């Protein structure tokens, strides 16, 4: 290297100068010690992998250790009197040359000056030199003294390492994640270059801590979890936190890291990766919002439903299902995680189901596992259709449908069908009875006429006349029976006219007083009411049959029969009431009193057609009969007949 102007002068080596300066003579002890030291250093450099050199102020080589030739294959004599950069094959980088020249101008040393040299065999050797300035006693610069080292292996290794790291670096810069390293005090020592590209934030946060970075939002529990892992020198995963960037955008990040240990096992910090999970968090928030809205929507659905997972545990249910499984004064048995078997046991133990069907928890579990639909009668008299549908993940959805109205409608349908069948049977019976009655009536006419005629010719007190009168009475009873059968069968011709119900009731009472025992008192309250459209004879028969039935209920005991005619409370009907203080009826008897031929009296004392005829007449007039009775408390029959619309 040239360090001054003028022609470079050759400077002999120290050993050469010493030999020329003194003739051969016996050396002094100091000189012998000096030569011994020089020889020792010369031997040392011969064995060392570094070599020693000296240059004068102009950069001319004045000394090179003997091992230089062994290291570079160039004789040391070829360098004496020349500059290092004039040796063929020497290549010095411009920035390195400028650095060393600055040191030379400033008369100071340098370290790790790196250059390369192409050897005779074509191999490139990399050399690193360091030097210090040499001054004489007067402070004059005499040159530089330094060492040279072959660093070819190191340079080639570093280049190979950089070449291998280049693809990794490019991948890191292109990745959507970014990487970091922290020291023991959580200060950032490295952050991947793509941090700025991803978030628009300069990567000058090296030397800072993440917790001190503006805009960070940490969950205290999560932060404590990570710090506990760091104190234990343990790795951690999925540390989720939010960060508001200078643009005002809020991003969600997830960090995972592992501890760093040196070759001695000493903990040095953490190395980790950060992933932007903003879209995932938004999707999860949207899903939670949708789930909450769905939950709010179905919570008020009136149909109870429940969702079970693959382990038959409750994962979701609505308010109606919870209320269904609530006992008075107790909390609901339904909760997250409760198993189907536990719910089934609660249902059995709490008498959830009405009696009449043997149900246990094992039966309920078997029906649940087999799926399908089953109907249950609950203790609150509701009927529930329960169906289970399997889900793709192995779970199930249970739907509870209230079918009480359907059950009631089905029961009513069965009752109506029974009534229809009964009505059809009665109609057939009426047709048969009507035909028989007409034949009997035709047969009774000559019996009554001829018997009366013969009896009228016999004197009073004659025994034969008494016998004939007995025959007449029996024939008359038969005639009355025929009339009742005809009325029951409705085969006789009906006539409708405006009828004064109170007048018909008064007329019927005048006829009935003679036939009612004196032990029974008749009480009447006949208020004038508007006329009704009806058959006077049939309405008269209604009163006679009801009063006669009341007298038979009282029997030989003392009692009272009441007959009342009044306007009904609604103003559109006339009410005829017959009450008695007789024996009354049980509910089973009351339910059958209008059935044809049903009677509670002994054989020969009643036909069982009286009340049935009354019911038929009232129905044909568009009215109804209400009955109030109880054993030992008498009975009350209310006949309600409609008034003509013009009068109502």
Counted residue by residue, the chain has a size of 648
Rounded CA separation 611/600 (Å): 12
Decide which of 3.40.50.10780, 3.40.50.300, 3.30.450.20, 3.30.420.40 is the CATH code for 14-157: 3.30.450.20
According to CATH, the topology of domain 175-282 is Beta-Lactamase (3.30.450)
Looking at residue 635, what is its pLDDT?
92
DSSP 447-495: HHHHHHHHHHHSPTT-HHHHHHHHHHHHHHHHHHHHHHHHHHHT-SPP-
Nearest CA to 508 out of 526, 534, 483, 496 is that of: 526
Q: What is the largest CA-CA distance in the chain?
A: 214
Rounded CA separation 35/352 (Å): 116
Q: Does domain 496-642 have CATH number 1.20.1070.10?
A: no
Rounded CA separation 128/112 (Å): 5
SS3 413: helix
> For residue 56, is pLDDT > 60?
yes
Q: N- to C-terminal Cα distance for the chain?
A: 140
406-454 residue pLDDT tens: 888 888 888 888 777 766 666 666 666 666 666 676 777 788 788 888 8
589-616 residue pLDDT tens: 888 787 765 565 544 444 446 687 788 8
The separation between CA 467 and the C-alpha centre of its own chain, rounded to angstroms, equals 94
> For residue 276, is pLDDT > 70?
yes
Q: What is the CATH number of domain 302-402?
A: 3.30.450.20
Cα separations in angstroms, 579 against 361, 561, 564, 565: 56, 6, 9, 12
Contact 51, 45 (CB under 8 A): yes
Q: Find tokens 């619309």 and name the residue.
A: 645
19, with CB counted inside 10 A (0-12, 13-18, 19+), is: exposed
SS3 477: helix
Task: Answer whether 0.75 is exceeded by the pTM.
Answer: no
441-495 residue pLDDT tens: 677 778 878 888 888 888 888 888 888 887 877 777 676 666 666 655 554 455 6
Q: What is the mean pLDDT of residues 576-584?
A: 92
Nearest CA to 532 out of 626, 615, 622 is that of: 622
Rounded CA separation 519/531 (Å): 33
Cβ neighbours of residue 4 under 8 Å, at least 6 residues apart? 57, 58
What percentage of residues in the chain have a pLDDT greater than 90?
12
Rounded CA separation 19/478 (Å): 182
SS3 295: helix
Looking at residue 481, what is its pLDDT?
63
């Amino acid at each position: 290297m040239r360090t001054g102007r003028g022609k470079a002068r050759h400077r002999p080596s120290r050993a050469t100068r010493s030999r020329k300066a003194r003739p051969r003579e016996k050396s002094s002890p100091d000189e012998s010690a000096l030569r011994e030291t020089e020889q020792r250093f010369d031997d040392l450099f011969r064995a060392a992998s570094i070599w020693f050199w000296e240059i004068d102020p102009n950069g001319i080589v004045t000394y090179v250790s003997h091992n230089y030739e062994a290291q570079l294959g160039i004789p040391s004599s070829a360098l004496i009197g020349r500059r290092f950069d004039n040796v063929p094959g020497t290549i010095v980088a411009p920035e390195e040359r400028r650095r060393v020249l600055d040191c030379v101008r400033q008369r100071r040393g340098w370290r790790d000056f790196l250059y390369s040299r192409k050897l005779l065999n074509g191999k490139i050797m990399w050399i690193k030199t360091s030097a210090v300035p040499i001054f004489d006693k007067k402070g004059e610069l005499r040159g530089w003294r330094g060492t040279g080292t072959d660093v070819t292996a190191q340079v080639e290794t570093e280049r190979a390492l950089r070449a291998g790291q280049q693809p990794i670096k490019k991948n890191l810069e292109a990745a959507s994640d970014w990487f970091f390293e922290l020291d023991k005090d959580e200060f950032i020592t490295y952050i991947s270059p793509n941090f700025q590209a991803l978030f628009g934030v300069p990567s000058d946060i090296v030397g800072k801590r993440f917790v001190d970075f503006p805009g960070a939002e940490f969950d205290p529990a999560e932060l404590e979890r990570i710090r506990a892992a760091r104190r234990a020198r343990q790795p951690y995963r999925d540390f989720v936190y939010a960060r508001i960037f200078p643009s005002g955008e809020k991003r969600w990040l997830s960090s995972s890291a592992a501890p760093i240990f040196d070759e001695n096992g000493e903990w040095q910090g953490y190395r980790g990766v950060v992933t932007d999970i903003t879209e995932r968090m938004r999707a999860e928030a949207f899903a939670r919002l949708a789930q909450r809205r769905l939950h709010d929507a179905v919570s008020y659905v009136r149909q109870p439903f429940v969702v079970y997972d693959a382990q038959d545990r409750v994962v979701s249910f609505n308010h109606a299902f919870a209320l269904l499984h609530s006992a008075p004064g107790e909390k609901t048995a339904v909760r997250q995680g409760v198993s189907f078997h536990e719910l089934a046991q609660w249902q059995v133990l709490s008498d959830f189901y009405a009696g009449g069907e043997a149900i246990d928890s094992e039966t309920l579990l078997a029906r649940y596992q087999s799926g399908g639909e089953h109907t249950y009668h609950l203790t609150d008299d509701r009927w529930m259709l329960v169906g289970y549908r399997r889900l793709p993940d192995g779970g199930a959805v249970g739907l509870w449908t209230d079918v009480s109205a359907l059950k009631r409608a089905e029961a009513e349908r069965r009752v109506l069908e029974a009534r229809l069948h009964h009505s059809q049977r009665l109609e057939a019976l009426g047709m048969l009875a009507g035909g028989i009655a007409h034949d009997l009536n035709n047969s009774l006419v000559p019996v009554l006429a001829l018997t009366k005629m013969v009896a009228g010719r016999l004197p009073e007190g004659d025994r034969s006349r008494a016998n004939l009168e007995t025959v007449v009475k029996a024939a008359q009873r038969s005639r009355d029976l025929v009339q009742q059968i005809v009325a029951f069968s409705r085969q006789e011709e009906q006539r409708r006219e405006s009828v004064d119900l109170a007048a018909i009731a008064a007329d019927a009472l005048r006829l009935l007083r003679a036939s009612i025992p004196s032990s029974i008192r008749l009480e009447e309250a006949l208020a004038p009411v508007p006329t009704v459209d009806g058959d006077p004879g049939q309405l008269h028969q209604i009163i006679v049959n009801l009063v006669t039935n009341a007298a038979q209920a009282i029997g030989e005991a003392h009692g009272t029969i009441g007959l009342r005619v009044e306007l009904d409370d609604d103003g559109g009907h006339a009410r005829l009431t017959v009450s008695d203080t007789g024996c009354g009826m049980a509910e089973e008897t009351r339910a059958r009193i209008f059935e044809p031929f049903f009677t509670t009296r002994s054989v020969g004392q009643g036909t069982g057609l009286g009340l049935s005829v009354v019911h038929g007449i009232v129905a044909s007039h568009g009215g109804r009969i209400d009955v109030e009775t109880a054993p030992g408390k008498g009975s009350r029959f209310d006949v309600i007949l409609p008034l003509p619309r013009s009068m109502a």
